[in-house]
């Protein structure tokens, strides 16, 4: 592998941490994982700080931990409960900002190393209220500084041999609830279990790359949002199986309804929201 393709990122990392040591807010998603992967290839030693709490599905934490261990990268789990934050409890539209600020404030206390995150150059084009907290706290975003977009990251991840380079975004579970909805640990755990059931069902059908979200769009209505391109490719009978398996994993919550979407990101981020 020609490390020259990572030269722009290497230059940014050298400016942030000349000795190659930095802390990384590491969710285990594509962006933070690629940053850890690329830094490792470039001879850096990132400290991976992974937030856990009711807003993070346990299987995502397990994936993040297992992948870090596969590269022998230093990994720490940091428990934080965002349900103690007033803005999050109200389901306010700035909940992501307050949550992100609390999370990164906690991470900065964990290590004296410069703290980085996985924000990329494409994130500036979307509604990302949490980015204000990142900037306010002086957290560095090497991927964005190197000009790497989400498309670039998918490409370079595959080119440099990172596992699961097609990994889909998995925003925190709080984004499955509309603004104004009070989140509870029980509801978040149920949604996480429902999504796990959907993921396993899709995997059995060979649809590992299909993207989806289970969203509580109203107190009495849960929708399984999938891309139209994925629903069109589903075999006959799979819709019923997906909904039944999700419902079985979410006792006490409404029976879900499948809803095809042109895009999955930012469903609740509308002018009327």
pLDDT tens for 17-66 read 999 999 999 999 999 999 999 999 999 999 999 999 999 999 999 999 99
The predicted pLDDT at position 1 comes to 45
The predicted pLDDT at position 272 comes to 47
Q: Contact 224/214 with Cβ under 8 angstroms? A: yes
Q: Average pLDDT of 88-104?
A: 95
pTM of the model: 0.93
* pLDDT tier, 222 (very low <50, low <70, confident <90, very high otherwise): very high
CA distances to 5, 54, 57, 118 from 185, rounded to whole Å, are 43, 6, 11, 26
Beta strand 212-218 pairing with 115-116: unpaired
Phi/psi for 212 (5° steps) reads: -165, 165
Q: Average pLDDT of 257-268?
A: 93
Is the pLDDT reported for residue 163 higher than 60? yes
Mean per-residue pLDDT of the chain = 94
Q: In what order do the strands lie in the sheet with 74-79?
A: 74-79, 45-52, 21-25, 115-116
Class of domain 3-159: alpha beta
CA nearest 45: which of 93, 108, 1, 111? 111
- Which CATH architecture best describes the domain 173-261? 2-Layer Sandwich (3.30)
Q: In what order do the strands lie in the sheet with 221-227?
A: 212-218, 221-227, 257-261
Q: Which of 37-46, 118-127, 131-140 has the lowest mean pLDDT?
A: 118-127
The predicted pLDDT at position 128 comes to 77
The predicted pLDDT at position 271 comes to 47
Is the pLDDT reported for residue 77 higher than 80? yes
User: What residue spans define the domains of the chain?
Assistant: 3-159, 173-261
Q: Contact 252/189 with Cβ under 8 angstroms? A: no
Instruction: Output 170 or 177, whichever has higher pLDDT.
Output: 177
Q: H or E stretch including 189? A: helix 185-204
* pLDDT tier, 3 (very low <50, low <70, confident <90, very high otherwise): low
Sort 21 into a burial class: Cβ within 10 Å, 0-12 / 13-18 / 19+. middle
* pLDDT tier, 131 (very low <50, low <70, confident <90, very high otherwise): confident
* pLDDT tier, 273 (very low <50, low <70, confident <90, very high otherwise): very low
């Amino acid at each position: 592998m020609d490390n020259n393709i990572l030269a722009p990122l290497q230059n940014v990392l050298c400016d942030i941490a000349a000795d190659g040591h930095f802390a990384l807010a590491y969710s285990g998603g594509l962006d933070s994982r690629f940053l850890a992967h690329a830094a490792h290839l470039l001879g850096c030693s990132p400290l991976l700080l992974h937030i856990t709490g009711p807003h993070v599905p346990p299987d995502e934490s397990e994936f993040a931990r297992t992948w870090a261990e596969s590269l022998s990268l230093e990994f720490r789990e940091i428990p934080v409960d965002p349900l103690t934050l007033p803005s999050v409890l109200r389901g306010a539209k700035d909940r992501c900002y307050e949550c992100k600020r609390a999370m990164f404030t906690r991470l900065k206390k964990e290590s004296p190393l410069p703290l980085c995150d996985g924000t990329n150059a494409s994130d500036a084009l979307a509604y990302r209220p949490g980015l204000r907290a990142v900037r306010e706290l002086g957290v560095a975003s090497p991927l964005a500084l190197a000009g790497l977009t989400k498309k670039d990251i998918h490409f370079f991840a595959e080119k440099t041999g990172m596992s699961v380079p097609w990994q889909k975004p998995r925003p925190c579970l709080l984004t499955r609830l509309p603004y104004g909805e009070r989140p509870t640990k029980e509801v978040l755990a149920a949604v996480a279990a429902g999504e796990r059931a959907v993921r396993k069902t899709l995997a059995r059908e060979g649809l590992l790359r299909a993207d989806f979200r289970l969203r509580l769009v109203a107190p009495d209505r849960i929708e399984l949002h999938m891309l139209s391109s994925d629903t069109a490719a589903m075999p006959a009978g799979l819709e019923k199986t997906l909904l039944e398996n999700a419902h079985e994993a979410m006792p006490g919550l409404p029976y879900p309804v499948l809803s095809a979407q042109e895009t999955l990101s930012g469903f609740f981020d509308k002018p009327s929201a």
